[in-house]
Amino acid sequence: MTGSIEQGISQTHGNTHILHFLVRLPRPMAAVWPYLATPEGLSSWCAEADVLEPRLGGTVDLKELGGGRITAWDVDRVAEYSVAGGRIRFHLERDGDDGCALRFTHEFQGEAETEQRWRTRFERLIEALENGSRQPPPG
């Protein structure tokens, strides 16, 4: 199985932009989770994570995306970060025997983030999972 990024959906409601992606990943949920929920994992494909306290209500600081709190945390399934000007949600689901699907939502204000920026990030995530190893990043 190789990873794939299905068409992103972009919506605007007033000043709020919402991006949705479905990303099919070539590894089981347990192997992908550290890439979404650890500083080392997020730094490898998404944004430098200066702080990430892995628990509901914990502090998170993602350099390119801002600092804030963890507003949803279901280990191995859901990580949601409410950061300056927005909310980022990663939701993992099983997809076949050996893979998983990442349902992603980014709700934000302003023009800093785009569908193409997230597509590029997800390409880096797929590459890290396919070329790195089946082992998660240290963390």
What lies within 8 Å, CB to CB, of 44 at 6+ separation is 35, 124, 128, 137
Partners of 49 in the beta sheet?
Answer: 62
- What is the tens place of the pLDDT at every residue in 50-95? 999 999 999 999 998 899 999 999 999 999 999 987 999 999 999 9
Q: How far is CA 65 from the centre of its chain?
A: 12
Q: Which bin fits 103, alpha (ψ -120 to 50), beta or left (φ > 0)?
A: beta
| pTM of the predicted model as reported, rounded to 2 decimal places | 0.88
* pLDDT at 134 (0 to 100): 43
Tell me the residue ranges of DSSP E strands in 1-139.
4-5, 9-13, 16-25, 49-52, 59-62, 66-74, 78-83, 86-95, 99-109
